Amino acid sequence: MQKIAPLALALVTTSMLIGTAQAASPQAPAPVTAGTTVETAADVTMIVAHSYAHLRKESNTKSPILATLKQGTKVDVIEKVANGKWAHVKSGKLEGYIAVSLLKAA
């Protein structure tokens, strides 16, 4: 019984720490459509390669347009989704999705 108590305490402590870390997350993950793959691409800056690119609320062409970014606009890529066809990006205070085909390496 004495050997079980420290192990149980360690498990409870670990569970509490993991729960606290998850609860402290500052931003909820972006919604991902079923059947898509998410590829994390932290600290990657890309540039709008075409004359313009629509920043959309979700990773599809039917999604509402949040902004239209001009050619040469830099965006920070958070992750790639939809099998790498869309980039979840941040540009200034805006965050949304741009088709990867409209971007190039900075």
Q: Spell 56-87 as b/e; 16+ CB within 10 A means b.
A: bebbeeeeeeeeebeeebebbbbbbbbeeebb
Whether the pLDDT of residue 88 is over 60: the answer is: yes
Q: Which pLDDT value is given to residue 106?
A: 87
pTM: 0.62
Give me the chain's average pLDDT, please: 77
Looking at the chain, the whole-number percentage of residues with pLDDT higher than 70 is 59
Residue 16 host element (H or E): helix 4-23
Candidates 29, 83, 57, 92; CA nearest to 101 is 83
Q: Which pLDDT value is given to residue 4?
A: 47
pLDDT in tens, 12-32: 444 444 444 444 444 445 555
Q: Which amino acid is at 33?
A: T
pLDDT in tens, 26-58: 444 555 555 555 555 556 999 999 999 999 999
Q: Which amino acid is at 76?
A: D
* Cβ count within 10 A of residue 96: 24
Q: Which domains does the chain have, with CATH numbers?
A: 39-105 (2.30.30.40)
Q: Which pLDDT value is given to residue 31?
A: 56
